[in-house]
Chain A
Amino acid sequence: MAIDGAALRGRLETIGSDGRQAIASATGAAALEDVRIRFLGRGGLLGEALGSLRDVEPSERPETGRVANRVKRELEAALEDRLAALRTGEDTAERADLTLPGRRQWAGGLHPVTQVIDEICAIFREIGFTVATGPEVETDWHNFTALNIPLDHPAADMHDTFYLDEGLLLRTHTSPVQARVMLEHSPPIRILAPGLVFRRDPWDASHAPAFEQIEGLAVDEGIDFIEFRAAIDFFVHRFFGPATRTRFRPSYFPFTEPSAEVDVTCFLCDGFGCPTCKQTGWVEIMGSGMVNPAVFEAVGVDPERYTGYAFGMGPARIAMLRWRIPDIRLLYEGDVGFLAQFA
């Protein structure tokens, strides 16, 4: 049965336009391959249509054949264009609103105080320090007596203490770790002891009944005040920046002598004076000094042979200064909106 040439040509044109549309709307290389098979593949729509060409009136055949070839070329070209666009990514770029936000995972992160502690430990590790820990519940011997603080002395007033039992307390500083390390190990000792300490201070913007401290202790033959100052300077330059200056001021801690408070040039105003440094240009960052021989004697280290230095810092206070956190309570609230700022 003869087929009407015009009808077949109409059908070919329809296949062509359907195919172009299918190519245009196909997403991805796999879908495009499906389109190719459906239209141009063996037994595809175009092949099927061409199969009926021989049933067309011979006079109509050349004309119909030309249409069939044109449709085929057009589809192949369209297909090739899309494939090329897919390969270079232009395809996606043209189709998607690339300003749409991406798919994310929840971010997590370390507490700002942890970050400060880690940084301090990393710096001191470079000059031979290791990290030690000690219990938070301490005896008054470790917390006071071994550190040359008599229990019935005004010096003990500096620590308003949480007692649990007679002679048992929550440590008021990380310094008892000094005593524990020296009782257990022989010099050379270079340790840092980060941890929580407890004071009977009610909560307010600058006080918390528990907060972090980091203790440092170096004990060996030949350690003098000059080495102590050099070690602190090394730390300050690493932590606060090479342009930061340090200032050592006399102070009093029963477990060090000579004792010193260490100030650094205010890192918010570069020493010009601002509310953070109370217009002095200096910010106090640690208490420190040469280990008092009385401490060595209490823990059985020969004070004639060994000397050393010790220091203590408040990482929470440093975090507050660094990130200009106005209220210490923010550090312990666990507000994810706060914590996310340091991730």
Chain B
Amino acid sequence: MEIGVGWLKDLVPGLEGTPRELADRLSLRAIPVDRVVPVGEGLGGILVARVLEAGPHPDADRLTLCRVDAGGAEPVDVVCGAPNVETRAFYPYIPPGATLPGGMRIESRRIRGRMSHGMLCSEKELGLGRDAAGILRLDGEFRPGEPFAARLGLPDARLELDLTPNRIDLACHVGVAREFVRDGSGALSLPTFEAEVPAPRWAEDRRSAGGDGLTISIDDPERCSRYLGALIRGVRVGPSPAWLQARLRSVGARPINNVVDATNYVLLELNQPLHAFDLAKIGGGSVRVRAARDGEVLRTLDGVERRLGPQATVIADADSPIALAGVMGGEESEVGAETTDVLLECAAFDPRHTRHTARGTGLATDASYRFERGIDERGLEVALDRCIRLIVATAGGESDPTRIRVGRPAPRRRVVGVRPGRVRQVLGLRLSADQVTSLLAPLGFEPAPREAGDAEGGEASRPLPLLVPGWRGDVSTEADLLEEIARTYGYEAFPDESRRFRPGTVPTSRDAGRAARTRTMLAALGLFEARSVAFASEERTGPGRVALLRPLSAAEGFLRTDLVPGLLDRLAHNWSRGRRDVRLFEIGTVFGRRAEGASDGEPPVAEERRIAFLLTGAARPAHWSGPVPDVDLWDCRGVAEEICERLLDGAVLRPAEEEPTPRESDDALSFGTASWLSAAAFRLEAAGSNGDSGALIGVAGLVRADALDIPPWAGPVFAGELRLAAVAARRPAAPFRPLPQFPPVTRDLAVVVSAEVPSDGVRAAIRDAAPGELRSLSLFDVFEGESLAEGTRSLAWRLEFRAPDRTLTDDEVDAGVERIVRRLKEEFDARIRAS
């Protein structure tokens, strides 16, 4: 919404301050001001000139040769590039030696053989509008040579308000002016228009009323509560006077003609949309507010033919629609140069129906914007009268004393109460009823008579009833009045005091704790946290995918079912920048549709928080001391092991060979969609009972080469994904183990077994057979070939034995090792290599 500062100052005589200062005051008291835009700055050198003669340039088709009176002793010659120069008309003129707002200095110069002393200017050249096609004709009486800017109230400025949906009353100049009156800056005063307008006689009824050959009816009171019509006969449609054009231009509106400009002026002044119809184009002497009929067609003012449906509300004459109610007029009944008699409409259209009419046609206009948010139904009569006066003043004509009014009477002002005790409870201010009244009075709130029943209770709990002005449709509750009191008091004027408080009792969410632990650990492992959006294409998602009803694009048409495909996209981005070493993790949500019928009161879309990671490129930063290998499956498994041990509290990793794409059929969110996973993969399983495998909580491994477009210079890619819910929300508090008091005894054992035997099996057998004194067991070498028999391999283990209460003897340890060896021989037909 744009508010002209000059216009505002006319409405509030005595209002002081630069546009910037006014903007700040408004921001702190009522509504944000996005920008302050200067209008008509740097026009000091521009004069008003009258064209005395205009004729074609003898040597150029498109140029006009003018003699203009610019107030000097002699007329001057000006060559003009515009086609629309009229003799006797006034135009802005820049004399030689002066500069345009853009900084261009104008000099006398020869154009196609003729001297041009200065130039006649267009809107655009003066920075007043976008129109560069023609020079700016000034309507009204001027004295040649008088300064242009002062006459048009320039320089001016406009404030661009960022209107909130509740404060539609600030979409007009009077509304904004009230906020300054409230600020103690004088009183509101509306300019008067010189016009002979007879006192109105109202022809009125609830559904239909008329007079003098015109009947207005409301078919559906839900769509329109009040409709006022007035006739003006014998208008001369033409350009508006300069002051009116300047007013409209100062807020970026385009002057059209005196009748239309008058309706726009009243709209911008009082917030009431009005529409002028050419009376001659209204068929059958009838105007109806009704639902559009299915398939009805209306060509609107913008020249677009619109096919309507019953959700739209129209104004119709006896035959067909002539306007979209509260949105836009029809082209057919538009006021134009030949119009003489005008029907002026001033109505209250229903917000919801206006919204449907506007949505249905894809239109959003100044009028629909206001009707959708609610106009002041009590203000219709004033707005209509003001518009009639302005039209008669600028376009002549006679106002028909009979005015038509259909619909319900103007609503009474709403009464809303506010308790001083509530002011104190919510705002912390001790204000008396009188203080509240005087804070709100300048905004139009008046004390209402107290009703008898209100007398009970103390002063603080007794509501102070206030009459809400008609333009404040947003104020309907005590809380609304508290806001009015707070902002009128001034947010900055509240005292700085500290209050005692009780800490909240809502426990911190477990997911928040899990995510924090996970992030810290993965960052410490050298991974960067990525955040990607939750959308994915159909190909990047799995079977339970959820579609967006109106996606931004096909590539973002679905909710992701896995995190890793998103990380692979992030990897592709890095590769496109030539980055080879990429280590990322992400914590995010995946989504899946629950099976039909499976949702017992649950929402049909399930969501789950996941952790994903991705590794590719060198295992360490390059170093001069030697080559650095690329990450391999064991780096990937290492990350997975760290996660299992440090975050998952006992989860285990199993090779995924048997089930290359693990799947849980009964769950909307499975890892069954892990189409990126190759056969070289691991399953992360919760610690099961009795050695059974537990629930699947994640997968990790080599990414299939066909899941992404790998550049030839890139290394293999590894990734993993698991459920955040599997992470312990805090580190489990296992009791402290005393530090050893006695030295350990170490034995190395190289076990040759069939290459088919998994190392995990050997490890389990050693642990099982070993005495309790075995404190640590690590695999330090894996070897096959050369001296070993075909199909066998050597697994070398380091065993550390220690007792808490004594130094172990070699004999004790040897006996233990002996038991282990026996077991390995029995179970795996193992051979022990001499070490």
Contact = CB atoms under 8 A, between A and B. Distances in A.
Q: Do A and B bind each other?
A: yes
Interface string B486-518: 110001101111110111111111011000100
Contacts of A210: 533-535
Interface stretch (A23-31, A79-87, A158-166): A158-166
A313 B607 CA distance: 24
A110 B607 contact: no
Interface string B589-607: 1010000000000011101
A108 B504 contact: no
B746 interface: no
Nearest to B516: A118
B579 A336 contact: yes
B552 interface: yes
Contact of B501 (A105, A220, A340): A220
Interface in B537-554: 546-552
Contacts of A191: 504, 506
A249 interface: yes
B468 interface: no
A137 B605 contact: yes
Task: From B426, B623, B624, name the one whose CB has the most chain A CB atoms within 10 angstroms.
Answer: B426
Nearest to B497: A226
Interface stretch (B206-214, B260-268, B567-575, B653-661): B567-575
A331 B507 CA distance: 30
Given A108-B525, A130-B504, A251 B164 contact: yes
A189 B499 CA distance: 16
Interface residues of B, number: 97
Interface stretch (B24-32, B135-143, B183-191, B785-793): B24-32
Contacts of B624: 100-101
Nearest to A139: B603
Interface stretch (A8-16, A58-66, A67-75, A254-262): A254-262
Contact of B552 (A105, A202, A212, A334): A202
A189 B527 contact: no
Contact of A335 (B28, B424, B428, B574): B574
B506 A189 contact: yes
Interface in B574-590: 574, 577, 579, 581-584, 586, 588-589
Nearest to B578: A337
A241 interface: no
B522 A108 contact: yes
Nearest to B485: A258
A2 B372 CA distance: 126
Contacts of B605: 137, 164-165, 168
Contacts of B373: 154
Interface stretch (B40-48, B277-285, B334-342, B476-484): B476-484
Contact of B574 (A157, A170, A336): A336
Given A128-B503, A227-B428, A248-B491, A292 B535 contact: no
Nearest to A246: B492
Nearest to A125: B508
B165 interface: yes
A114 interface: yes
Contact of A181 (B32, B506, B524, B579): B506
Closest 4 CB pairs of A and B: A334-B570, A190-B504, A128-B503, A252-B164
Interface of B: 27-32, 35, 164-167, 352, 355, 372-373, 424-429, 477-480, 482-483, 486-487, 491-492, 494-499, 501-509, 511-512, 516, 519, 522-535, 546-552, 556, 559, 567, 570-571, 573-574, 577, 579, 581-584, 586, 588-589, 591, 603-605, 607, 620-621, 623-625
Interface of A: 100-101, 103-111, 113-114, 118, 127-133, 135-137, 139, 152-155, 157-158, 162-165, 168, 170, 181, 185-186, 188-191, 194, 196, 198, 200, 202-203, 208-210, 212, 218, 220, 222-227, 229-230, 233, 247-252, 257-261, 278, 290, 292-294, 307, 331-337, 339-340, 343
